[in-house]
Homo-oligomer: A and B are copies of this chain.
Amino acid sequence: MTNASLIEGVKDFQPLPANIVIFGATGDLTKRKLMPALARMYRTGLVHPQSRIIGVARDIAGAEWPDMIRTALESYAADLQYTDEEWQAFAARLRFVQGDLADADTYARLAGALDTEQGVCNALFYLAIPPEWYVQVAQGLGQVQLAGEDTGYRRIVIEKPFGLDLASAIQLNKALQDVFSESQIYRIDHYLGKESVQNLFVFRFGNSILEPLWNRNYIDHVQISVAETLGVEYRAAYYEQAGALRDMIQSHMMQVMTLVAMEPPGEYSANAVRDEKVKVLRSLRATPAAEVDRLTVAAQYGAGEIAGQKVPAYCREPGVAADSVTETFAAVRLYVDNWRWQGVPFILWYGKRMQKRASEIVIRFRQPPYNLFDSGGAPPVADALVFRLQPDEGMFLRMNAKMPGLTTRMRRLIMRGPYASATEPLFEAYEILLNDVLLGDATLFSRADEIEESWLKLAPILDAWGKRISIDRYRAGTWDVPGVDDLFAGCVGGWHKPT
């Protein structure tokens, strides 16, 4: 991540000096993701050397923060290997404001801690805190005149969940927009910062042979999947309230879906791209209440084994109610009712405690019309274009070729295109996205209307699922989730489990 060629490669992306303010400076996200990203960016020049990184938290004194960060970096950015001198230089950029987010004085002291070099005060406010605090912090910043952009840019970054349903999303957007303009608000979705997700977009519009095939005439269905082997971990409190549909599908996976389904934008700019994404969501069919059973699957993991280790059922995890009906697996079969996609199922599924960790986008083409080489036989297997996000980022084209030998029988040919060579450093999603915020490029961030539209379209499913009093179980460490095969009814090749 920090080699010379990388530093060479980032020259065009160096931002202005800025005050990078992290609310929730002692939290998990800060330690695991934000500070490792910022420390690497400082090393390569992607954080300007005159920037300040200002932590805000209640629970420690300012003097403790640099040590806390150094310890965190040793765990989560061990590659940086600080010399004392390097550490002193980086630590000199750190500031800390101790205070309660409910206390107006915290914001006043924060304002005093900002560097205002020659009257310019660029500031990025990262809200690495629970969402119930978002509005209060925004208002606190507004009250000390840190929302206006008179003396530099001011940008606020928030993490999902952006509401838990349509009403709460509208409310949140409105409250934030009372203080900041929409162009200052960066709703971060780290999935969109993954290099391979961005490549999906570049690959689609950087080649001439995909666009002619990219429609209902040639595509049978699209599958977007994220399978994890982890369980709920330490997030039971949030998860009990959210579940897989809200946590993964409404956010990351519908965002990816819009990238697959969107029309070519007129230009590569934040609003042109997001206009096309929101058009997809507007064309998305809201699942009729009567169809929710047929077009969705919800399930919860039971006890099982992952990699030879016994793991407990979800409902026995700490913090989870014994009679919980929260889904840890969610699948939805969606339709985009427009000229390009009418009738093509988009099947999105996410599961915890699956057999294998994998995330894929599978574009499954229609089956060849018949088998020229065996007219009585079945048509050849349908082709597929696969974008693998993890593990082993890359693209695969699954086609049919002649089996070697005295035959015209076919077998599967997999054309492989690794996304990067093994020695090429890839950027972490948070580095890419923080760089975008520092440069003011909102292309990969969700706009308010996208968020609201996606909640609107999921509302019938949320309503139906909200009335659930029991839920199917699947054994942890397996693919045996009831109902998924039926969800793929009529899709060529059926459910494609990662292999």
Contacts and interface: CB of A to CB of B under 8 A. Distances in A.
Interface in A249-272: 264-265, 267-268
Given A13-B406, A212-B212, A406-B9, A206 B420 contact: no
Which of A372, A397, A413 has the largest count of B CB atoms less than 10 A from its CB? A372
A415 B395 contact: yes
Nearest to A265: B372
Interface in A1-42: 6, 9-10, 12-13
Number of this chain's copies in the complex: 2
Q: How big is chain A's contact interface, by range? A: 35 or more
A202 to B, nearest CB: 4
A380 B201 CA distance: 14
A242 to B, nearest CB: 32
B267 A383 contact: no
B420 A406 contact: no
Which of A367, A400, A415 has the largest count of B CB atoms less than 10 A from its CB? A415
Given A406-B435, A415-B395, A420-B404, A213 B206 contact: no
Contacts of A13: 406-407
Interface string A257-293: 0000000110110000000000000000000000000
Contact of A427 (B9, B195, B202, B404): B404
A402 B368 contact: no
Nearest to A436: B406
A410 interface: yes
A400 B407 CA distance: 34
A190 interface: no
Contacts of A407: 9, 12-13
Interface string A194-217: 010011011101111100110001
A347 to B, nearest CB: 19
A401 B195 CA distance: 11
Given A207-B400, A208-B368, A432 B406 contact: yes
A202 B417 contact: no
Given A406-B10, A426-B404, A427-B404, A207 B420 contact: no
A9 to B, nearest CB: 5
A406 B400 CA distance: 36
B372 A268 contact: yes
A97 to B, nearest CB: 30
Interface in A422-463: 424-427, 432, 435
A45 B62 CA distance: 85
Contacts of A396: 415
Contact of A203 (B195, B201, B205, B399): B399
Given A198-B408, A206-B399, A414-B417, 7 more contacts: A9-B407, A198-B402, A199-B402, A208-B367, A212-B218, A404-B426, A415-B416
Pairs of residues from A and B, 5 with the lowest C-beta to C-beta distance, nearest first: A202-B402, A415-B417, A206-B400, A199-B402, A415-B415
